[in-house]
Chain A
């Protein structure tokens, strides 16, 4: 039987799915040629990338107040969704003449996390000059495909006879034999990428971002004790809310991980309640004196009279310690959810440099500063843990809200009797990516 066919069409059809596997020595030659002088460049970015991630992960793990140590950081759902979507094992039936229907994208994408699936036509593993061997295969030519691998390293195409029905059952480790479902491999991979989130494809330039931020901070202690004096150990302490403000710079290590540092100006305050205080000046004989004058007539010409106090004047109130630091945080941020609203977990350390410190006594009427206690260390450290929620305003701008728990390690120089300070802050800021 002969049919008139154009040369072009003949060749086009026959070559449509032509693939041929080269002999092993080809890769060996390539490898050898690659081996010359490329080792250094390979190792350095490797170290940079994986060392950075290892350090960041170690940081997260060593924090005592980790949010959820068992959290599974990788969302496996996305992978399985694609699996089930691609699982249509359709067999392409060839018609009588051994021609398959015009389906250009008759390629494979069964499991897109393994890109090793690809069609390998049955007959093209041996290119020989011998006409007879190919003829034999031609009789069985079904021009259908078989997915033969789910592991890239396995590169052996299966060469086998096809059955009369032009189905090609292939035993592979991947139990689905796929012959095409109208999608090429790379369309599926591209789809995979977009499902994982918009931030997956990221320009090399957009790795830095700057975030000015501000936060209300609540400071308190986890334990009893007083850093001012032991006498006050049992007094109740209450925290004050103060303000922190600053600027952060972040570097995006990969799609999910970023590292950041910055500078914040932060002040803390807490109260020691239920205290009494009295003025304690004494005269030569040891009596407490106060200077009294008639409020309506007091002037230069009428100096106040010194009188002895009968009993000490005490006031009740609270003692307020306020101190401020310059904070330099070093934190790692891991993105859990990556959509328009993102969720992150944050961990890290801050270095704190003391900038001011004062204690005062306060009651309803007035606020009396008293001598600066020497109990604060100039340099302090805190371990930080928090959750971050951000909203993508535009490609370059993110709105962040990050509640953070910061536990201070080295605030007080003297034994504070169990006073363990921490701060809770809700850091809000606007990130600018560039």
Chain B
């Protein structure tokens, strides 16, 4: 079935079409949820909320623009909305830092490990890091989405980088010492 037919099926609230749409996009959207959430359970909740929103709002989708882009935006917004409600977006002032090089053996770093590192970041740093580094939003857009200033966005990003770098290098060190 073509995507357009699926979308029309979902507009008609056809359960089969909804399920197939879920199966088609769950992989991509769940990965987004995992990046932005603190852990797997929270990610699952966010995914569920995301799809409820998608199925609800799909009647507004008028086939203009990429469907995948549309649902990705919904996903990110759903997660951010959750954090907004929790009051995560408080001002955390900080000094500016550029992108930092990190000493490590990139072959030995697995995605699962990096995901864990991201999830363990403080909420706001995680959100900013994801939005900027992994989802290519600009600081201006991030500032609007999180209701913070651009400066805050930049400093949060810098902080996130620092923390990640530290943790990666520490783990590398740990490995090196363990292998001795």
Contact = CB atoms under 8 A, between A and B. Distances in A.
Contacts of A8: 99, 133, 161
A14 B27 CA distance: 16
Interface in A143-195: 152-153, 155, 157, 186, 189, 192-193
B109 A12 contact: no
Given A2-B104, A42-B14, A115-B3, A11 B68 contact: no
Contacts of B109: 10, 14, 138
Interface string B1-20: 11110100000111100111
B100 interface: yes
Contacts of A12: 133-134
B48 A26 contact: yes
A97 interface: yes
A34 interface: yes
B110 A6 contact: no
Interface stretch (A15-23, A279-287, A379-387): A15-23
A138 B22 CA distance: 29
Contacts of A115: 1-3, 6, 24
Interface in B57-106: 63, 66-68, 99-106
B114 A14 contact: yes
Nearest to B69: A186
Interface stretch (A85-93, A120-128, A211-219, A346-354): A120-128
Given A11-B114, A49-B12, A97 B47 contact: no
Contacts of A300: none
A200 B7 CA distance: 14
A15 B111 contact: yes
A127 B27 contact: no
Contact of B110 (A33, A49, A97, A138): A138
A27 B112 CA distance: 23
A98 interface: yes
Contacts of A201: 4, 63
A5 interface: yes
A22 B44 contact: yes
Interface stretch (A51-59, A129-137, A261-269): A129-137
B31 interface: yes
A33 B1 contact: no
A7 B134 CA distance: 11
B51 to A, nearest CB: 5
B2 A189 contact: yes
Nearest to B105: A2
B116 interface: yes
A153 B2 contact: no
B154 interface: no
B111 A27 contact: no
A3 interface: yes
Nearest to A49: B12
B161 to A, nearest CB: 5
Residue picked from A33, A113, A126, most chain B C-beta under 10 Å? A33
B40 interface: yes
Contact of B52 (A30, A116, A118, A137): A30
7 smallest CB-CB distances across A and B, nearest first, come from: A134-B112, A134-B110, A138-B110, A19-B27, A42-B13, A22-B30, A4-B101
